[in-house]
Structure 1
């Protein structure tokens, strides 16, 4: 499966990157940096030995901001560390690695940097960067009800698959817009017009093509790792609560059924069963609710590694670029957006935006370039990518990794996991205060699951953090 979905509350983060210098708002270790209020653990064991347990020392005082004059590590020493990582039997026979200086972009060490590897969920970085360069950060996705033909209402999906069944929560990303709020708006207008009985249609034609990718394993779909991708849904089409719940086979119609129930609570009777229709051009709008801003949605899918929401955002990018809202067009759109930023996408192939499908391949160098771009002062619109990635030992899909190492709180990275694939791409602040960007993609790992390759990659990144190699 793709990187596990772990919903963790997030805090609004701001990275200030001006004049080529680093200045990171990380007082509670919510952003990697030298400023910390968290316990400082003991140095880790050298790579490749797994780190040992770390006692909890006293809380430290605030330290200064990252120094752009901090020395860069020795490429020769880092190359030796990369060689040891690649040679480790736990990584298998195919590992691509790149480590670059976060400030200059100089490659400090690498192995097969231009060779495409299966990215798993690190592919979500492509969609994240594409979304925040193609769309204003404040973009929201509307869910509307308009007048249809002869007493019919039409629920029109605008791409929000995180609708709340009840009232929306203005502080949430998942559940920002609520069907109860939408029903209240609609019912008010209907009652003023003397209407209390309607039929209901749903228009989800914003997206096209199959809702399930043919590249997804049937077992992954059945396990709830992804939902059918449609233009609207309640709670990402979950039938019941849980980390990997079963999903509605038709999220749009399920959402329409929920709206019918909310309308009934407002005294509006919905006759018959909701069905698919096309909303009339220029139809009068009776109500609308808006999703969280796209910048928050991007942080959400990076933090939780949610496959479905990543696919939704990629389709929104495609539609914005004048392409169909389909798997094929969305995959092309996000790579085109990366190319328009001046990044080398040669050799890159995406069959979906989430990294769940079979057939995607990305060079490690492209992932590092995306990460570094997100921290660049010349691209402030991408700061939500830099701050949206999970933090080592503290949040998201890295909450249970690096917990006993000195790298805890100093690594922010996107995880990736599929059978025989383990990947990690992000940033780490080394012992000298230098920011490094890295990508590790291993796509032929041995049998035995994720534990061994993850531990090996984590030990490598921990050693990068502790190095200060000069």
Structure 2
């Protein structure tokens, strides 16, 4: 199996003593607090290069999304798409059947996009044509969201997580991830499904089909499908989750994994399904726990070793390798776009960030100045008050040292 981008299979390993000294200094730094786990391994051989408390479960924050992405690719497959359909249960009665696509476009779909690949305008075009052929100009609209179940908001989320737009209620039918305006963290629609259904009803009206009412109801068995649109493939959705760290999309992806495994499409079903899939990869999940599929809720626990184990298994599996390759690139894109602006890590670190109150984490791959690919995870879950800046500076300095910088810690 080839090493990562820019890596050389015959490049020397860094000196373990030097890296261990750097790890020890980072762990002792007051800015990262008193609970820090670190693991650095060779991607090719799995050889441990440096570590600190590697097996202690800690709050992973959004690095947990690595597990969700791996589970989705394993369970659903990279080419799977999510369908949003319209069925006719009787003359004048149609049901909009949600499949779990939370990135529908309000207008036409964009075949080059991930968010907005499937468009409600395209679905309305197909529906209006089918109804017109049957001579129907007036319908009652039902909305079937039975693919997901349980609460739409996790009890482990703070109320401000929703009100500030960090996540939307997890429903299986959403337009643009339920955003009320186009920015990274805008307020979200309180009921994303009914909002999307309202957009669809308006689109039908513009096409000559009057909608007399909208209600939640399950589509009956045997109802004929008259229209359908498909999301971006799972590989693209997983990449979107890793690069943007979008909590809502990650939660939807986790529920789709659960449904595919025959479990409820709920928080509990998703977390059970993700950990079960990871365990099937041969990874020891002793002590691991997931409170949700995004890492936003309090109560998730993963060790640095488990994060690195998942990364290494993914790096060695052609079907999962994109999980490592699609991580944000330091100094360039996604959640690492404004980090590692200088130094040897720039462009050669690919990692998933994690940020919660009291928790700062980073897990991914780094190509050293000698050209060797290493995998690493750093999780600090008892950081002192003061926000993310201090812990990030220590963690980023450590990763720069792993890459070969040798810069002193701040």
Q: Displacement of 1:465 after TM fit?
A: 0.4
Q: Displacement of 1:282 after TM fit?
A: 1.6
- Is contact 1:299-1:387 (8 Å) kept? no
TM-score under structure 2 length normalisation: 0.97
Q: Report the 3-state secondary structure (helix = DSSP H, G, I; strand = E; otherwise coil) of the residue aligned with 1:382.
A: coil
Alignment of 1:9-158 (within 5 A): 18=1, 21-22=2-3, 32-33=5-6, 66-158=7-99
Question: Which residue of 337, 341, 352 maps to 2:281?
Answer: 341
Q: Which moved more, 1:333-342 or 1:237-246?
A: 237-246
- Is contact 1:422-1:441 (8 Å) kept? yes
Q: Report the 3-state secondary structure (helix = DSSP H, G, I; strand = E; otherwise coil) of the residue aligned with 1:440.
A: strand
Report the counterpart of residue 233 of structure 2 in structure 1. Answer: 293
TM-score under structure 1 length normalisation: 0.85
Q: Displacement of 1:374 after TM fit?
A: 2.0
C-alpha distance in structure 2 between counterparts of 1:467 and 1:217, whole Å: 39
C-alpha distance in structure 1 between counterparts of 2:93 and 2:116, whole Å: 26
Report the counterpart of residue 390 of structure 2 in structure 1. Answer: 452
C-alpha distance in structure 2 between counterparts of 1:194 and 1:149, whole Å: 13
Q: Displacement of 1:242 after TM fit?
A: 1.7
- Count residues with an aligned counterpart: 406
Q: Report the 3-state secondary structure (helix = DSSP H, G, I; strand = E; otherwise coil) of the residue aligned with 1:113.
A: coil
Give CA-to-partner distance per residue, 1:78-108, whole Å, 9 cap, x none. 1111100100111111100000011101111
- Aligned-residue Cα RMSD (Å) equals 1.1
Report the counterpart of residue 243 of structure 2 in structure 1. Answer: 303
Q: Report the 3-state secondary structure (helix = DSSP H, G, I; strand = E; otherwise coil) of the residue aligned with 1:347.
A: coil
- Is contact 1:73-1:467 (8 Å) kept? no
Give CA-to-partner distance per residue, 1:383-440, whole Å, 9 cap, x none. 2211221000000000000002221000000000001110000000011111000000
1:164 aligns with 2:102: no
C-alpha distance in structure 1 between counterparts of 2:229 and 2:277, whole Å: 28
Report the counterpart of residue 360 of structure 1 in structure 2. Answer: 300
Which stretches of structure 1, 4 residues or longer, exceed 4 Å deviation after superposition? Answer: none
C-alpha distance in structure 2 between counterparts of 1:140 and 1:262, whole Å: 23
1:247 aligns with 2:247: no
1:422 aligns with 2:360: yes
Give CA-to-partner distance per residue, 1:1-36, whole Å, 9 cap, x none. xxxxxxxxxxxxxxxxx3xx43x5xxxxxxx42xxx
Q: Displacement of 1:77 after TM fit?
A: 1.7
1:199 aligns with 2:137: no
1:233 aligns with 2:174: yes
Structure 2: gaps (5+ residues) = none
Q: Displacement of 1:467 after TM fit?
A: 5.8
Structure 1: gaps (5+ residues) = 1-17, 25-31, 34-65
- Is contact 1:72-1:101 (8 Å) kept? yes
